[in-house]
Amino acid sequence: MQALLSVAPGGPGTLELTTLPEPFPGKGELLIGIRAAGVNFPDTLIIQDLYQIKPPRPFAPGGEIAGDVLAVGDEVTGFAVGDRVLALTGHGGFATHITIPAATAIKFPDTMPYEDAACFIFTYGTSYHALKDRAALHSGETLLVLGAAGGVGSAAIQLGKAMGARVIAAVSSQDKADFCRSLGADETVLYAGDVDKNAQKAFSSEIKDLAGPLGVNVVYDAVGGDYAEPALRSIAWAGRYLVVGFPAGIPKIPLNLPLLKGCQIVGVFWGASVLRDPEGHAKNMKNLFGLYEDAQINPKISARYPLDRAADALTHLSSRSALGKIVVIMPKREKVS
């Protein structure tokens, strides 16, 4: 098997493509032949030791995979060789093979390509949990999405529209705004790269103009930094501010704003929620597959990289120029049966 390994803390340039023995599934495990792996922001952090999870080295990044069951370990039921599965792995996905606990594998529809499956669970799982479970978004409300052209942001646009919301997409360039409109965003707003106090006020005013006099009901913040406060200032009475991620830095929020707005600041830690509420997660995944089958959601993949160029995929994602999802494609192999 081949794997792109992190051998020392650092950026994508520190990763090394390595040949390793093929693993064997232990009790309760599946051996998966990976077909595709999604590229997500935590992958850029984990190789720098900046993520909550710090696996022992050497390890392969890549926390989201889709592939085929190649072998079934002892005491595993419900799976057979040849099953098409997706899984969140935390790490290890930038490789041709991986062993995972059978309990973490999810079968996906035959109509879903491996690439879509590899880009599905992390972004849509996060955004659906955020909008449905944490914000209780309902039809007729206004949703503001920060970082709307990225993986979780683009998923939030599609899910917001599927849930009947009016969606405002906040992005950093016109090409990203055009991309968000192609996903169904009703309105778009551009923010500057460098945000001083004047730029913050202008950004907040633009959002308020688009949202109308009542303001934004739900803010989906996958950016953080200096964009958070102006977004919060645009929120409606009893609005919900979803804290999703901080690629622009961890913001400092004046706590008088939640008081004056009567609003909630709500944390979104989807990974922990999956562990704490597996039944709720299973129900959400069933709903998401249904939305996919109904063509209401569909991963928008803008770039594909072979395994030997997966480091470039991480560099591309880190540049914050990516639209939608990036996926790593494994070398072709024969279909499993």
Per-residue H/E/C for the chain: CEEEEECCCCCHHHEEEEECCCCCCCCCEEEEEEEEEEECHHHHHHCCCCCCCCCCCCECCCCEEEEEEEEECCCCCCCCCCCEEEEECCCCCCECEEEEEHHHEEECCCCCCHHHHHCCHHHHHHHHHHHHHHCCCCCCCEEEEECCCCHHHHHHHHHHHHCCCEEEEEECCHHHHHHHHHHCCCEEEECCCCCCHHHHHHHHHHHHHHHCCCCEEEEEECCCHHHHHHHHHCEEEEEEEEECCCCCCCCCCCCHHHHHHCCEEEECCHHHHHHHCHHHHHHHHHHHHHHHHCCCCCCCEEEEEEHHHHHHHHHHHHCCCCCCEEEEECCCCCCCC
Judgement on whether residues 52 and 79 belong to the same structural domain of the protein: yes
Model pTM above 0.75: yes
Going by C-alpha positions, the residue among 140, 138, 108 that lies closest to residue 125 is 108
Distance CA 161, CA 316 (A): 28
Instruction: From first to last of the 337 residues of the chain, give the pLDDT tens digit.
Output: 999 999 999 999 999 999 999 999 999 999 999 999 999 989 999 999 998 889 999 999 999 999 999 999 999 999 999 999 999 999 999 999 999 999 999 999 999 999 999 999 999 999 999 999 999 999 999 999 999 999 999 999 999 999 999 999 999 999 999 999 999 999 999 987 667 788 888 899 999 999 998 999 999 999 999 999 999 999 999 999 999 998 888 999 999 999 999 999 999 999 889 889 989 999 999 999 999 999 999 999 999 999 999 999 999 998 878 888 999 999 987 666 5
Q: Looking at residue 335, what is its pLDDT?
A: 64
Q: For residue 283, is it within any domain?
A: no
Judgement on whether residues 241 and 159 belong to the same structural domain of the protein: yes
Judgement on whether residues 61 and 85 belong to the same structural domain of the protein: yes
Judgement on whether residues 95 and 195 belong to the same structural domain of the protein: no
Contact 192, 171 (CB under 8 A): no
Distance CA 151, CA 229 (A): 22
Q: What is the CATH number of the domain that holds 234?
A: 3.40.50.720
Q: For residue 173, is it within any domain?
A: yes
Buried b vs exposed e over 117-131: b needs ≥16 C-beta within 10 Å?
A: bbbbbbbbbbbbbbb
Contact 117, 84 (CB under 8 A): yes
Residue type, position 189, single letter: V
173-200 per-position pLDDT tens digit: 999 999 999 999 999 999 876 677 888 8
Q: Looking at residue 45, what is its pLDDT?
A: 93
Contact 120, 112 (CB under 8 A): yes
Q: Looking at residue 250, what is its pLDDT?
A: 92
Q: For residue 293, is it within any domain?
A: no
Buried b vs exposed e over 304-325: b needs ≥16 C-beta within 10 Å?
A: ebebeebbebbebbbebebbbb
Calculated CA dihedral for residues 297, 303, 307, 308, nearest 10 degrees? -170
Contact 36, 117 (CB under 8 A): yes
**Residue the block writes with tokens 């942001």:** 153
Q: Which domain holds residue 76?
A: 2-120+300-329
Distance CA 69, CA 51 (A): 29
Judgement on whether residues 151 and 252 belong to the same structural domain of the protein: yes
Judgement on whether residues 161 and 101 belong to the same structural domain of the protein: no
Judgement on whether residues 116 and 129 belong to the same structural domain of the protein: no
Q: Looking at residue 333, what is its pLDDT?
A: 73
**Residue the block writes with tokens 């950093």:** 172
Return the number of other C-beta atoms located less than 10 Å from residue 28's C-beta: 15
Count: domains in the chain: 2
Q: Looking at residue 337, what is its pLDDT?
A: 57
Q: Looking at residue 189, what is its pLDDT?
A: 96
Q: Looking at residue 53, what is its pLDDT?
A: 85
Residue type, position 334, single letter: E
Judgement on whether residues 173 and 232 belong to the same structural domain of the protein: yes
Judgement on whether residues 110 and 10 belong to the same structural domain of the protein: yes
114-141 per-position pLDDT tens digit: 999 999 999 999 999 999 999 999 999 9
Q: For residue 291, is it within any domain?
A: no
Q: Is the dihedral of CA 329, 48, 129, 206 positive or negative?
A: negative
